[in-house]
Structure formats: C-alpha cells, structure tokens
Structure 1
C-alpha cells in the first residue's frame, strides 16, 4: 500500500512516495531500461469504453489503484500456493510500503517477457536473479534493489525541508490516505491478479489466445480505430476488468477513490508508421500523443525541481521591499474571516 502521494507495510526502507500519475510511470519505465511502453488511465471500465480508448496493443497489464479498504482489498479468488503457480509467473510479496506503485509496475513488466517485451539490462538481471527465489525473498530483493530504488526516488517531488522527519513538525503535514495497487496480467492462457499483500497470485480464469470472430469483425470494420493490435487482448482484458468491477462493487456505501491504469505499447510507434504512409487520422492522433508526452516531460521536470530556494528568495525580496508583513497580515485577516463564528449556531 501507499500514501496518497504514491504508495503500506512495515518500513519505508529508503523508498519515498511518488505520484500515481501515468506520466510518472511511463517515464519511470523508460528510465528502468524498458523501451516502447506507455501507461494511460482508463476512464470507462466497460468493454466498450476500453475499445473506445484505442490503446495501442499489445496490452501488457492493468493496474488497479484504490484508497485502501478491507473489503476492496480482499482478493477476488483464493491465492494460489507456490506449488500451484505456472512456471515463470513472477510474483513478489510487498515488503516496503512506499515501493507499492513500482512493485505493481514491475509485476506487469516482468510477466510481459513471454509476450516479447524486452526488459533491458537492469530488469533482465533483476528478473534472472529473482527467478529461483520464493515470493517473500523476492520482496526482500526488491527492497534492496538500489538501482531500481534510485529510479523510483528520482520521481519524488521535492519537499525542501522534510517535515515528516521531525517528530515535532510531523503533525503540521496534511493527513495522507493509504492507497493500494493490484496488477492484472495475462500469463500462459490465464489471467492473474497480483497483490503483494496476499500470499500468492489469484487466478481469475482462462482466456482464448486468439480473438473471437466478433472481436475480429469489430477489429476489421471499426472506422475509428487506428491501431489494430488490441482486439486479441480483449479476451483477457475482459476478465481483468470484470475482476476490477467486482472489487469496486464491494465498496458500495463507502467512499470510493480509485483509478485503473493500462500498461501498453507506446502509441506513437504504430502511429508514426501509419502517418508516414499518408494516414491523416493517424497523423492527427500522433500530434495528440506527442503533445501528451511533451506535457508529461514538462511535469516530471517540475516534480524534480527543488523550488525551495526560489520561494526563500521571493520572500526575501518581499521583506527587502517592505511588503512581507503587509501580505502576511492580509493573509491572516482573510483566514480569520473564513473561520466559523464561535458565537453562532452551526
């Protein structure tokens, strides 16, 4: 699990919280050495909504992020024992609280090797070393993976002064809700729910490895579709989305805060090829995707900037020009006006 800013268990272990943002995850995957992978948020959880989102295939996995609640956190199916797992399925127990988001991303990437995803040096070496370990030891391995931790922590927004490290100042920080991440992946003809707080993966069912005739027809006749690789993925995505919706249904009557992230091939790869061949629709989509990636890059740059010196300098200039105390008094007056009158009944 994690805080609202990013990722719950026993210790931070040097891992900081990161924001649960598609742009952060996309950039982090690239800096871990995996090329050609993108993360986007799925807004409509229906099958029609997934198709309309037009994600470039293959779809490597889904990540369900939600405000922690015991009912939502319970697995859909009974976790499998180690002897029941298919050979090669990667699963790790969650040991580090703040590594939750990155662990969910790794669960998708490591299990996408069977679908031809090239992991790059760092994750390939990590996967090879982890292969012979049990789930608990794999969790310890990730907790001590310094290179992965360094990439993860590089996306931590600067706080300037880390108030949470000072017990006297910790109460000044706003309360952050605990969030949790669960991954859904296709593997060896079955869909698995990977939750690091459980003892093992849960199998949600088998799926056909080829698209049904109706999916193939939709794939070939849709006038709005640019990429045509996600049709075959619908057979397993359908099962995963059903698992997510079943979890969400348990939260009826409670505060529901969640999102679903889709880990898929970089949309720009296929769009560039189609645009170069004169496809105007693909060219328009490519411009949108390039703009989105540039915006993500800008936001990530700002996240990594330490703006505390700038803030201190601005306050110093205000004080030098005799405006600091006036602005401070004005802010205090505004705050008092916003406070409820203790003499009036609510």
Structure 2
C-alpha cells in the first residue's frame, strides 16, 4: 500500500449470521454453491400468513449463546451478539486491539426490534394497570439495545453507536466508522447492521410498501466488518479492501434516478478511481420501482458485467437495514481467491423508500 493511502481505513475481517448459517464460512460456501435460502415459514410460531421467509436456520438465542444473560434477550440482539462473537473468535483475531477502551462498535438498524417495542407497548395497554409490564423487557424496546449488549458481552469500551437509517443504515455505519478512526476516537471499529424476522416486522412491511408490486420475502441476519487504520494490518489480519469513499444524497419526488447517478459518480470521483476500474457492484435490491431504478443506474455507470459477478443480496431475502453490510460481505467473499478482482474497485449502493441514498467505493486487496 502506498504512502498516499496508508492513512485510509481498511476492512481487515468480516463475519455474518445469515440464512446460510453462522459465520463467514457458512455465507461464503452458500454463495459459491448457489443454494436457495427461502423456506415455508412456520405460521403458528410467527403469526403470519403462509409463505416463504429467509430465516437463519435453527437460530434460537438461548441455544446459540447459552442460558446465562439471555433470558430476556430478543432476536435482533441475539443475531448481533452472535455475529460479533463469530468475528472476535476467529483464529486470527487480536482481542487486545479489537476489544477494550479503544475499540468502537457501530450498528445500523431500521428501528431496533419492532417486535420488542410492540410487545412492551401492548403489555402496558392490556394489563390491569399501565405499569404492569415486564421490566426485563424494557431494554429490548430501546433502539440501541443490540449495540450495547455486544459491547457488554465482549468488553468493547470505546464509542458505541446505533444508526437508524433504514436500507442505507449499513453504509452510513461504514462512513461513521471511518470518521471515528480519522478523528482518533478509536483504533478499531466493528461496524455492520442487523435485522430480525418477526410478526411485527412482517405486518409493518406488508402495510407500508407500495401497492401493486410483488413483496419480496423477508430475510434476517447480521453482517459485521472490522475496520482499522491501514497501518494496523498484520499478517493475521491483512487488508481485504480499502474504503475509498462513502457518499450520500437525498432524492425528492421523481429525482431518484438523477440523484442516485450523481451519488455514484461523486463517490467514484472521491475515490480517485473510474467506472472502468470497477470489478463488481452490488445494489440493495430495494422493493418496487426504486429497486429497478437502482439497478439500472448502476448498470449505466459501471456496466451489467460488474453487477453479475456477485450474487444479489436478495439471495438472503429482504434484509433491509443489513443489506449494505451483507453486500460488502458478499463482495469480499466472492473476490477472495479471484485473481481478476485483485486491486480492482467494488461498489455498493443502498436506496431507502424515504429517499435517502448511499454509495460506497472499495479497492479490493491486491492479492
């Protein structure tokens, strides 16, 4: 890495809990095998109509994390804690650097656990008295519960941040992580996003999406990236990709196409690269017309071939806030061992229905 880029942040590790299973290897193997992840949902358990969903197979919080400290832990917190643990327990992990006072955590979300919020509110409304609620459930109803629990479980005492940004939350978290490093607030940042499947989320999505379109099956999971300064790389934790730029915009009315194209081109300019250098690109596969525009814009800027090199994040279902983190994880998993990808650019975009847009540009490791 040149002296000019030595100060840029890099991704040195990643992990995930996905519909393919727990850990980076499960996601990588599932993608390479092209396995489908959807399955008929248990309507009795989840309280939803018949249909498919992309759930983490066999994921039960107390079975995965044990009984200690998990009695009242909700699903999205369990997914986040499990993913952070999978990353920190990798054989090449440096626990002294990746935990402690200088280790930060940034977690993207839509609203936290919708199920916990609704359950807690419901108990106040249906109980004999408004305060007849389970106090152990109260922390789950707070948006930053999952991030806080990750820090407590693994001793991460640096900045702890939750960003509620819908589908753009993951890339916003990446941008926030780079700012923590550049300002000297942290020496390493675990950054990602989590989304759970629940009856509450199902019904909210069903009633809030645009009519007339086909609703994609919901997915769930969490993906986490370890972001560090380039000079912190080691033979055990080499740089997998350099974060060159993260740009964001807000589209109003019918300006989505023009605004997104401006966002992507601006990110490429900020990265110092060009569209011709892009090896692969991933988009968030937003539901409805926004997703169609997102793909068309990316194809017009970097070409269809770049979009075909990596499986779409829709393979995991609609993972909403976690889509950006999974897009980057899937880019890294696919690029690993591919000589054609070495040193090339990778692009990830996210589009939310409220008009917020994001684009990240990475330079994949040279070897």
Band the TM-score falls in, shorter-chain normalisation: under 0.3
- Relative contact order, CA 8 A, sep 6+: which one is greater? 1
- Higher fraction of strand: 2
TM-score after normalising by structure 2: 0.25
